[in-house]
């Protein structure tokens, strides 16, 4: 894992460019200037996965979107604390574990590890901390008691008048309910934008959590939601905790309020997640946290869905793509590019075309970086690339990123600089000495800038992340040696293809694939990456 983009100096100063950052706030429905609660520091809480099955592309889109946001905040000079939770207990985990003869905590950990591997493979920086819901039961019990004491929750008694284990938030007691989504009744969307989003239904991130409904008797109002849930008869003893409210387990919404408060305090800068979490999850989080007397998140940021052929990616539609499946067919760099090249609030259409465009981008970037490095005789040191602040990067790129993380415009500025510099390199052989020196300086500056901008997206092809995966063949003697060996096999394959010996060509491709080498045939010849 390449960690060079993470902060090391606790006294790092905020860049001049930071003053121009503007971000969308879901609650306010507008883009506004970003000002952190504490100067120089940003606290972010992002809702993580419910680890009941393997990760899919729909899950990873949100993770990578906030990874880019975090990387940009780091370039602006902020110290960033990012908390991403793991929901390791819910109805689906318990049900699926029982159906597969597993212990529920065993199943949760198996898939938690799969998610971690997917995040790492896709180049996401690790969170500052990744708390599990089951590790914070005492904080949840304290929070429930706090809400009860303030008159905004109630305990349902059993037939003998004892606490049943069911505790509900009293929505009617909280007039501010609906402040995030502007829902007039707490059950209906308040505007057409919200209605259009809701018509798509829950995304792959939460379509299983949506089934975690509050069906127990004793609710005073259909809008009330569970803070604590009495166990079902089928729940194993290890999935039950003793509390003053009775035996049970936490409600889904409660978990995030307790964990965000534990690690970020009563107030923090940004709460993020998929757009489908907006209601009911984030609405309920906001209500219960404010009802507890906390300030909670100052800004809400939500990522849009991944779609296929205009339909939201969902397991129920049968078009959810597992990360392993996609990575078996495409290099991780290409998949990451396809996922981060669309602005986080825009729907991302997942298709063969989007992956082909990502492969084309890889070819153009790789060819530029390789060519510029050969002309200059060396590449900028990785530490120098990672150490560039926002103030060191091209102005058009900075303006795009400061405009609510407008990645499309930011990427356009990268490719515009690549085109201009390619023209300069084309003319170098005919340049006079004085002009040549000036041109070489321009190439050197452009190469550093391009790699620095790519690194904001986690896509610098010479970073440790992609060198380990064979993303570039310019850094290190081992990579050079491997490139020489692979190129020799590719040359043999090309000769076989020209001789129409397709059996031999396929055999070479299969041999390389068996060794973890993926070949991409491009207009300028074959390139390769390693999945090892």
* Alpha-carbon radius of gyration of the chain: 26
Do 235 and 315 lie in one domain? The reply is yes
Tell which wins on pLDDT, 429 or 283: 283
Do 410 and 381 lie in one domain? The reply is yes
Do 151 and 207 lie in one domain? The reply is yes
Residue 338 lies in a domain: no
Percent of the chain at pLDDT > 90 equals 70
Do 130 and 205 lie in one domain? The reply is yes
**pLDDT tens-digit map of 391-412:** 999 999 999 999 999 999 999 9
Residue 347 lies in a domain: no
Q: Quick check: helix, strand or coil at residue 60?
A: helix
Residue 76 lies in a domain: yes
277-304 as b/e: b if 16+ CB within 10 A: bbbbbbbbbbbbbbbbebebbbbbbbbb
Residue 349 lies in a domain: no
Residue 90 lies in a domain: yes
Q: What residues are designated binding site for Zn(2+)?
A: 47, 256, 281, 285
Q: What residues are designated binding site?
A: 47, 256, 281, 285, 315
Answer whether residue 508 shows pLDDT above 60: yes
Q: Which of 457, 483, 513 is the last residue of a domain?
A: 457
Average pLDDT, the chain: 87
Q: What is the mean pLDDT of residues 415-423?
A: 96
Answer whether residue 414 shows pLDDT above 60: yes
Q: How many CB atoms lie within 10 A of CB 469?
A: 20
Residue 13 lies in a domain: no
pLDDT at position 5 is 43
Q: Which of 295, 315, 333 is the last residue of a domain?
A: 333
Q: Quick check: helix, strand or coil at residue 362?
A: helix
| Residue 324 belongs to domain spanning | 21-181+192-333
Q: What are phi and psi of 356, to 5 degrees?
A: -65, -40
pTM for this predicted structure: 0.83
Q: Which of 457, 485, 512 is the last residue of a domain?
A: 457
Q: Quick check: helix, strand or coil at residue 408?
A: helix
Specify whether the CB–CB gap between 209 and 50 falls below 8 A: yes
Count of CA atoms in the C-beta half-sphere (13 A) of 409: 13
Do 117 and 200 lie in one domain? The reply is yes
Ranges 1-15, 86-100, 288-302: which has the least confidence? 1-15
Answer whether residue 352 shows pLDDT above 80: yes
Do 269 and 147 lie in one domain? The reply is yes
Tell which wins on pLDDT, 391 or 433: 391
Do 70 and 32 lie in one domain? The reply is yes
Do 507 and 379 lie in one domain? The reply is no
pLDDT band at 531 (very low <50, low <70, confident <90, very high): low
Do 58 and 110 lie in one domain? The reply is yes
Residue 151 lies in a domain: yes
| DSSP code string of 441-478 | HHHHHHHHHHHHHHHHTT--TTSHHHHHTTS-SSSSHH
Do 243 and 169 lie in one domain? The reply is yes
Q: What residues are designated binding site for ATP?
A: 315
Ranges 178-182, 211-215, 264-268, 282-286: which has the least confidence? 211-215
pLDDT band at 209 (very low <50, low <70, confident <90, very high): very low
Torsion over CA of 77, 79, 82 and 83, rounded to 10 degrees? -170
pLDDT at position 437 is 85
Specify whether the CB–CB gap between 96 and 107 falls below 8 A: yes
Do 202 and 278 lie in one domain? The reply is yes
Which CATH number belongs to the domain containing residue 51 in this structure? Answer: 3.40.50.620
Residue 351 lies in a domain: no
In whole angstroms, give the CA distance from residue 486 to residue 489: 5
Answer whether residue 122 shows pLDDT above 70: yes
Closest CA to 78 of 17, 4, 33: 17
Do 397 and 436 lie in one domain? The reply is yes
């Amino acid at each position: 894992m390449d960690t060079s983009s993470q902060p090391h100096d606790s006294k790092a100063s905020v860049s001049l460019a930071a003053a121009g950052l503007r971000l969308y706030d879901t609650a306010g429905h507008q883009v506004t200037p970003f000002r952190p609660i504490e100067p120089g520091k940003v606290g972010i809480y992002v809702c993580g996965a419910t680890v009941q099955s393997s990760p899919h592309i729909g899950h990873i889109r949100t993770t990578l979107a906030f990874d880019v946001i975090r990387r940009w905040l780091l370039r602006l000079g902020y110290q960033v604390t990012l908390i991403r939770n793991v929901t390791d207990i819910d109805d689906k985990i318990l049900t699926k574990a029982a159906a597969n003869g597993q212990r529920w905590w065993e199943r949760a950990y198996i898939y938690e590890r799969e998610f971690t591997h997917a995040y790492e493979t896709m180049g996401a920086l690790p969170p500052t901390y990744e708390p599990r819901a089951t590790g914070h039961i005492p904080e949840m019990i304290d929070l429930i008691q706090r809400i009860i004491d303030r008159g905004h929750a109630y305990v349902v008694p059993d037939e003998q008048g004892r606490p049943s284990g069911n505790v509900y938030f009293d929505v009617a007691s909280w007039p501010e309910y609906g402040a995030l989504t502007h829902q007039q009744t707490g059950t209906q969307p308040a505007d057409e934008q919200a209605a259009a989003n809701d018509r798509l239904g829950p995304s792959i991130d939460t379509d299983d959590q949506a089934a975690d409904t509050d069906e127990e008797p004793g609710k005073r109002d259909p809008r009330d939601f569970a803070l604590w849930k009495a166990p079902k008869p089928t729940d194993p003893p290890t999935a039950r905790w003793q509390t003053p409210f009775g035996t049970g387990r936490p409600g889904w919404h409660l978990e995030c309020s307790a964990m965000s408060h534990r690690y970020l305090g009563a107030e923090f800068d940004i709460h993020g997640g998929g757009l489908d979490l907006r209601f009911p999850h984030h609405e309920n989080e906001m209500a219960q946290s404010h009802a507890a007397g906390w300030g909670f998140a100052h800004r809400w940021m939500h990522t849009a869905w991944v779609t296929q052929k205009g339909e939201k990616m969902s397991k129920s539609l049968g078009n959810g793509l597992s990360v392993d499946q996609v990575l078996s067919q495409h290099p991780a760099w290409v998949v990451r590019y396809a996922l981060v090249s669309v602005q986080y609030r825009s729907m991302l259409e997942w298709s063969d075309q989007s992956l082909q465009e990502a492969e084309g981008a890889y070819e153009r970037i790789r060819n530029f970086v390789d060519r510029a490095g050969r002309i200059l005789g060396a590449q900028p040191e990785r530490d120098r690339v990672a150490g560039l602040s926002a103030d060191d990067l091209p102005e058009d790129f900075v303006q795009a990123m400061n405009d609510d993380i407008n990645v499309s415009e930011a990427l356009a500025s990268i490719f515009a600089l690549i085109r201009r510099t390619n023209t300069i390199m084309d003319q170098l052989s005919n340049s006079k000495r004085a002009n040549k020196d000036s041109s070489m300086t321009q190439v050197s500056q452009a190469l550093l800038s391009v790699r620095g901008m790519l690194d904001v997206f986690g896509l610098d092809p010479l970073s440790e992340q992609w060198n380990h995966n064979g993303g570039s063949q310019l850094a290190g003697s081992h990579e050079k040696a491997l490139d020489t060996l692979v190129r020799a096999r590719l040359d043999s394959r090309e000769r076989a293809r020209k001789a129409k010996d397709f059996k031999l060509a396929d055999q070479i491709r299969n041999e390389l694939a068996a060794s973890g080498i993926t070949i991409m045939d491009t207009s300028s010849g074959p390139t390769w990456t390693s999945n090892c």
